[in-house]
Structure 1
Amino acid sequence: MENALTIRDNPTEIANIIQTSNDMHLSVLEAIGLPTENILSSIDERKVAIRNLPYVIEKMNTPLLNDAYYLSKFFVAVATGLFDAALNYLWDETIKQLRIRIINGDIKYFYDVVISDDRRKNFSSPEDLLKLDDFDLIKGALQIDLISQIGYKHLDYIRFMRNWASAAHPNQSELTGLNLISWLEICIKEVIATPPSNIQVRINQLLANIKSEVIDEEQAETIAIFFTELSSDKADALAKGFFGIYIDHNTTQQTRTNINNLAPALWQVISEEIKSDFGIRYATYVANGDNQTKNEAKRFLEIVDGLSYLPDSVKVPQIKSAIDNLMVAHNNLNNFYNEPSFARQLRSVIGTHGTVPAQLNYPYVKVLISVFLTNGNGVAWSAEPIYIDLIKSFNPKQAFIALTSFTDEGIKSKLQFPLCRQKYEELLNYIQPNITSDGVLSLLDEIKPRIRNLSNITNSDKLIQKISFFNKNYLG
C-alpha cells in the first residue's frame, strides 16, 4: 500500500500535480482550437476523490489489484478530470469481475436461469457472456446469489448512471468526486472483492454432484432439507437449473435419475409463477416441433406431478414470445425506438386471441408493468398508449398482481427513480376500477401513501406479510 500512503501523506504534492496536469491539458486544447469550457471536472472535486481513494482501494487484496486494469484507467480518468469516462471504466471493471465469477461457477446453470428458451441455443460457452446485456447480467447474478439484493439495487442504480451520466452517451450531467468514490466502494464491496456466498457454493457443489455422482433416495432426502432453507427466488432459480439440465440433449440418464430423486422435493418450495413457466415452456417446445426437448420436459413435469400446469392453447407460446421480445427491447439502450413495434406485437396477439391464459398472468403483468414504469430516464411515447390500454383491461387477479408488483426485485429497484414512482402512482389509478375485492381495495389504500419508500421495503415489513397472505388466499 505504498502508493496509498504517499497519497495520504502528500496532499500538497498531489494537488500540485493535478494543477499542473490540468493546465497542460487545457493549454493544449486551447492551442489547437478545441473547446476548453466544461471539459474537465473541477480540481477541488478531483482532490476529494483522490484523497478518499486509498481508503476504498485498501478493501481489495493485492491479487485482485494486479488484474484491475479498468481501475487503473478509472484512477487516471479521475485525476485528469474526466469523471464521465471514469464512471465508464468503473462499470467495465465491475462487469468484467461479474463475468469472471459466473465463469468460475456453473455457467450452464447461469444460462438456464437467465436466458429464455428461444435464445438459450446461442449461449453455451464463457465467450457467449459477451452477448448478454448488463441488465440481464446483474439480474442473473442476483438470481444465482452471486450478489445480494442490496448489491443488485446499488448496481442497477450505477448502471443507470453509467447509461445516462457517463461518457457512454452525450449528456450534461455533473458527477462529483464523492459520487465516484462511493460507487467505487459499492462495486468493490458488492462484486470485485466479495467471495461467493455459502448458498452459491452449496448450489454449485450440488449441481456438480448431480452430473457426476449417483444420488439415491436416501441421499435425496438429506439434500431436500437444504431446499427448505432457500428463499423463494433461490429455489426458483435452482428449479430452472434442474429443468435446464433435464431437457439438455447431452444429459446422461444417471443425471436425470438424480434429478428424478430430487425434483419432487424442490417442487414443493418453488413459486406458482415458476411452475406455470415450466408448463409454458413445454407448450413452446410443442409449437416449435422440438420433440426430444418436449418429451424430456413432459417427463420432468410428470416426475414432480406438475402436468396440471400444461397449457392447452397454442396461444401461450405466442404471447410468451411477444412479452419476452418486448422486455428485451425495453432493456436495450435504443428502447425508445424499438419498444413501440414490440408493444404493437403484444397487443396484436392479445387482441387476436382474447383474454390472457391464467398461466401467463405473472409474466404478462410483470413485463407490462416494468415497461410502463419506464427505464427511469424517459417515456416511450409511442408505446405508452398501448400499455395503458392493456393495463386498463386487467382482470381482478391481474390487477392484484400489478398492485403488488413492487415485491419483484426488478420492479422494486425501478421505484428508486422518481419517474418510475410517478408511473407506478398512475398505474394504481388505472387498475383501481378493476379491483373488486374489498380486501384488495384496502391493500391499495395502504400502498398509496408508501409509494416513495417501496423501493426500500423489506420482507419483514407487515405489508409484505399481508401481501403473502393475499397471494395464498386470493390467487390460490
Structure 2
Amino acid sequence: MSNELTLWEPAETDIIPTAATTVGQITKCAVQLSQRDQRQIVRALEARDFEIGVNYLWVKAMAALKRELGTLGIEFLGEMLGRPDVDERDDVHDLLTDKDAVRLAEELGMVSATEALRLRQTQELIAHFAKSEFADPNNIPTEMDDAEAVRALRACIKNILGKPRIEVAHRFVEFRDALLTKPLSETDTSVELLTKSPYFFRKLSVSILLSAIKTATGAGLEIALGNINTVLPVLWDKVRDTEKWQVGHTYAEVYASGMASAMQGLKQALLKVRGFDYVPENLRSDTFVKAADAIIKAHEGIDNFYTELSPVRNLGRLGTVIPAPALASCTSALLAVALGNTYGASFTAAPAAKQLLTKYTKDRWEYYINQCLPGDIRILSKLDSLGPRKRWKDLVQTRQLNSCAIKHSVAKRLIDASAANNDEGLMRAQRRLVQDYYGKRSATTPAALP
C-alpha cells in the first residue's frame, strides 16, 4: 500500500482525433449527444450563432456531468461540499451549481487540473457574453468569435460529452465506506495514513464522520462515534479552526435535537481534545453561513454581476461582527464577489463586498489568512486569472495585510508577494498552497482504507 493518500488523475485519451478540425468533425465525437443535438449545435455554430450553440452545448455537458456525479450518492457529494443538510432525496441538478460540478470533477479525478481550468474558462466565457453591461463603449455589443466557440466545443467534448461514461474515481467511495463500516484503532495503518495525507483528505474524513453522526442509527452510528473518537484526537492538531468549528457546531446540533447517543459520543471526542471552546453558544452563526451560501449561489450563477448585490446587502444587515464559526464562509463569499472573474467584477456588488471587508479588524484578517486561506480553494483558484489577481493585490495593499502576524509560512509568502506586486512569487505560493491542500498528484487512485 502507498504510504500516502493521493488524488487520482485520469489518463489522457484521444477523444478528439487530430484530424478532426471542423465543427462538424469535432461534434461527431460527442458520443453522449443524440444526432439531433449534434445537428443543432453544428447548425448554430456554422451559422455563427456562437452564443446560442455554446450555451446549448454547455447545458448538455453539465447535465451529463452532474448525472455521473450523482452516481456517487447525494450525501457523499454533500459531504464534499460541506453541506450536511442534504440527503439522497435531493436532486443532483438542484444541489450542484455548474462550478460545484466542475470542482468536484477535478477533486474526484474525473478531469485533470488543466482541463478543469478550461471548463471554468468556458463557463466564464458564457456568463460574460450573457451580460449586456459588457457592451462596447460605442454601444456596439461584443460577440463571441469562432475561435472561442471552438475552444468551448473542444473542452466540453474532450472532458465530458466525448466519453460514453465519465470515469469516476470510485476509490473515493470506498474510502468513505471504510470510515463508516470498519471500527478503527489508533494503531491502524489507515489512521496513520490519514495523518500523513493531504489536507483535503483530513477535512473530508472529519466531514464524513460528522455527517454520519447526525444521520446514522444503530450499528452505523456506533461505528461513526467510535471512529470520531479515534480519528479526532489524532487529527485535531492537523486540522484548522474551520473544521474544529464544524465539530463544535455538530455537537450543538445533536444536543439541540435530543440525540442522546450522538451527543454523548461526540462529547467524549471533544473532551479528549479539549475542544469545547469550539461549541457555539447559540446558532446565530447559522444565519451568517446561510447568507454567505446565498452570495456564493449568486456568484456562481448566470448573470451573477446583477444578482450578487442583494445577498451581499443581506449579509451586511445581519450585524457588524461576523461570528467566528461563520467567518471562513462569509470572508470567502465576500472575497469571491470583490475579486470577480476573468471578465471583471460587479459594478455594484463588488464595492459593497469591499465595504464589508473594510470593517475587518487586523485580528480577523490574521485568522482568515492563517486558518482559512490555505484551504480556500475558491479564492486560491481565482488567482490563476489576471483580473482577479490584480484585484487581490489591490486589496492586500489597501488593507496592508502584509503587516498582519502571519504564522503560516506559505500564506505569508503569498501575502508578501501580493503586497510587493510580485506576480511570480505570488503564483509560486498559490501553487504550493493548492498542492499542499490536495497533495502530490499521481497517476494512481487514492488508496482505500484497509
Cross-structure match for 2:336: 370
Cα RMSD for the two superposed structures: 4.3
> Which of 277, 280, 297 in structure 2 is aligned with 1:328?
297
Indicate yes or no: 2:222 matched with 1:257. Answer: yes
> 1:402-421 to 2 correspondence within 5 Å?
405=373, 408-421=376-389
Could you tell which deviates more after superposition, 443-452 or 424-433? 443-452
* Structure 2 Cα separation of the partners of residues 458 and 150 of structure 1: 18
* Structure 2 Cα separation of the partners of residues 217 and 406 of structure 1: 29
* Structure 1 Cα separation of the partners of residues 351 and 100 of structure 2: 26
Cross-structure match for 1:165: 129
Contact 1:71-1:93 within 8 A present in 2 as well:
no
Residue deviations 1:38-91 (CA, integer Å, cap 9, x gap): xxxxxxxxxx6438738x93xx7xxx4576875554334333432222212331
Is the alpha carbon distance of 1:388 and 1:218 closer, same or farther for their aligned partners in structure 2, counting shifts above 3 Å? closer
Is the alpha carbon distance of 1:447 and 1:116 closer, same or farther for their aligned partners in structure 2, counting shifts above 3 Å? same
Unaligned runs of 5+ in 1: 10-47, 466-476
Contact 2:225-2:265 within 8 A present in 1 as well:
no
Letter in 2 for 1:98: L
Cross-structure match for 1:447: 418
Letter in 2 for 1:393: K
> 1:2-401 to 2 correspondence within 5 Å?
49-50=22-23, 53=26, 57=29, 64-65=31-32, 70-71=37-38, 73-114=40-81, 116-117=83-84, 120-121=85-86, 124-125=88-89, 127-130=91-94, 132-165=96-129, 172-192=141-161, 193=163, 196=167, 200-209=169-178, 213=181, 215-217=182-184, 221-228=188-195, 230-248=197-215, 251-263=216-228, 264-265=230-231, 268=235, 269-283=238-252, 290-292=257-259, 296=262, 299-300=265-266, 302-303=268-269, 305=273, 306-351=275-320, 355-400=321-366
Contact 2:209-2:224 within 8 A present in 1 as well:
yes
Is the alpha carbon distance of 1:234 and 1:101 closer, same or farther for their aligned partners in structure 2, counting shifts above 3 Å? farther
Unaligned runs of 5+ in 2: 1-15, 136-140, 437-450
Is the alpha carbon distance of 1:227 and 1:183 closer, same or farther for their aligned partners in structure 2, counting shifts above 3 Å? farther
How far has the Cα of 1:255 moved from its partner?
A: 1.5
Letter in 2 for 1:84: E
TM-score, normalised via structure 1 length: 0.68
TM-score, normalised via structure 2 length: 0.72
Residue deviations 1:147-181 (CA, integer Å, cap 9, x gap): 44434332221111122236999974443444333
Q: What SS does the aligned partner of 1:350 have?
A: coil
Cross-structure match for 2:391: 423
* Structure 2 Cα separation of the partners of residues 460 and 336 of structure 1: 28
Is the alpha carbon distance of 1:190 and 1:411 closer, same or farther for their aligned partners in structure 2, counting shifts above 3 Å? farther
Is the alpha carbon distance of 1:228 and 1:395 closer, same or farther for their aligned partners in structure 2, counting shifts above 3 Å? same
Letter in 2 for 1:329: A
How far has the Cα of 1:310 moved from its partner?
A: 1.1
Is the alpha carbon distance of 1:454 and 1:285 closer, same or farther for their aligned partners in structure 2, counting shifts above 3 Å? farther
More RCO (CA 8 Å, sep 6+): 2
Percent sequence identity is 16
Is the alpha carbon distance of 1:295 and 1:333 closer, same or farther for their aligned partners in structure 2, counting shifts above 3 Å? farther
* Structure 1 Cα separation of the partners of residues 131 and 398 of structure 2: 38
Aligned residue-pair number: 403
Residue deviations 1:344-398 (CA, integer Å, cap 9, x gap): 33223332xxx44444332232222112212454544444444333322323343
